[in-house]
Each structure stands twice: as C-alpha cells, then as structure tokens.
Amino acid sequence: MCLIPAVRRLQKVATDRYEPLPDITRLPAWLWRRMGRGVRIAGVLLLLVLVAGGAALLPGIQESRDDRARAEARQRAAARAELARRLEREQRPRLARSAAVAPAGAPARERLAARAELMDELPATVLADARRRVRAGRLDGPVLRVECEPFPRSVDGRGADTDLSRRTGRYSCIAVTAEFGGSEEAIGGVIGHRYRALVDFGSGRYAYCKVSGQAGPSRDQLATTPRACGG
C-alpha cells in the first residue's frame, strides 16, 4: 500500500486550513481569492450599484450644500444690516445751544471767555447724555466724568476755542468709566465711551454723537461718525 499520495493530501489540507492571515495591505486580495465565483459576482454588482447610487446622489447633495450656504449668507447679511441700523441709531446726532456767545464786535478777551464757557458746557452735556444711556441700560457705567480735546490732535494741542480765526471746531470726548494711574515709569490713561462734537462758536450751537463701531476707516466699517458731529 502506497502512503505518499495520502500524506500529500493531508499536507495540502493542513496548509489550506492553517494558512496565516496576510498583513493589512494584502488582506483584500487574500479574501478575494478565497471567495467563490458567485460571491465575487455579487460583490462586483453591489459595488456597481453603490457607485451608481452615489453618483445619482451627488447633485442633490451639492444642491443642498448650496442652499444651506445661500441661507447662511442671507442670515449674515441680515444680521449685519441690523447691526448697522443699531449703530446708526446709537450715534444719532444730539443738538444743543449755549448762551455763551460774545456779541458782535466784542474784544478778543471777551470772545475767548465765551468760548471757554461753552467748552465747559460741552463736557457737562455729554456727561448727562452718557449717564442717561447708562440708566437705560445702553451703556456700561458708571460714568465718572467727561474729558474733551480738539480733534484731530495736533502738536500744539490748540483748538478753535483758543483760535479766534476759526468759527467752528471739532472735538473728541470720552465719557470716562475707568482710569489707571501713571507713575515715573508709565503714563496713566482712561477708558470709556467715545463721543464726537462739532461746535459753532459764532452761534453757540453744537452737535454731539456717541461714536459707535470701529475707531477708524475700514471697508468693513458699519457706521461712520455723522458729519453733523464733525465726521
């Protein structure tokens, strides 16, 4: 009796049964070889169905993304427009008039004194406005005081209130809510809400605005200082 063929068959069965799994890069090919013909055909057909279904869904997915993007853009535009309207309302010009006006032909000293008196009234008027806004919940407080200076700043720091050749002057004011003290090593400063004002010293009329939004010009700036307040 010949045992060699039987031994070879047993070796083949053992080899097939205990063949180790390949590494991950060769695992798909190993599985594919071990599938039956029917399973392979079914797998190919399933793959084709999935590809065709995905291709059919792509336009709908893209359209849904476009619709969502357009809706988000409309929401951002509406929010931006509403913010711009709120800022414009916040810095709407307020008008006032001072009785501190020197008569025509008055000497220079009297005219300068009238301008100085008006410049005392301007911070007081702005202070009252800022505190009204704080009470209404539209500004953070408390407002300690108001400081005003010529706008824009110049080297000599002179404004129209000390220059009789100028009838009108622009001023920047800050409603101070906090301050930090200076020292020998550092200069102190203040924090607060910004205002702008345009003063007509000839008539005593002036307009002031609470400045909202960004401090300087920008393509994205939503609201600019009104011209009535020297913007």
| Predicted confidence (pLDDT) per residue in 159-205, tens digit | 999 999 999 999 999 999 998 876 666 567 889 999 999 999 999 99
pLDDT at 92 over 90: yes
- 17: alpha, beta or left? (left if phi > 0; alpha if psi -120 to 50): alpha
Look at 118 and 51; give whichever has higher pLDDT.
118
Look at 136 and 12; give whichever has higher pLDDT.
136
pLDDT at 214 over 60: no
Residue 123's pLDDT is 97
Residue 79's pLDDT is 79
d(CA 84, CA 96): 25
Quick: pLDDT tens for 114-127. 999 999 999 999 99
Residue 60's pLDDT is 76
Partners of 147 in beta bridges: 174
Least confident of 31-35, 43-47, 55-59: 31-35
Token pair in block for residue 231? 């913007």
Range from 2-6, 135-139, 151-155 that averages highest in pLDDT: 135-139
d(CA 140, CA 133): 8
Cβ-contact 58, 51 below 8 angstroms: no
Confidence of residue 54 (pLDDT cuts 50, 70, 90): low
Number of H helices, E strands in the chain: 4, 5
Confidence of residue 84 (pLDDT cuts 50, 70, 90): confident
Look at 226 and 2; give whichever has higher pLDDT.
226
Token pair in block for residue 72? 């988000």
d(CA 66, CA 231): 41
Strands of the sheet with 94-97, listed across from one edge: 94-97, 205-210, 189-200, 168-180, 145-150
Cβ-contact 193, 139 below 8 angstroms: yes
- Mean pLDDT to the nearest integer, 103-130: 96
Residue 216's pLDDT is 46
- Mean pLDDT to the nearest integer, 77-95: 85
Look at 160 and 5; give whichever has higher pLDDT.
160
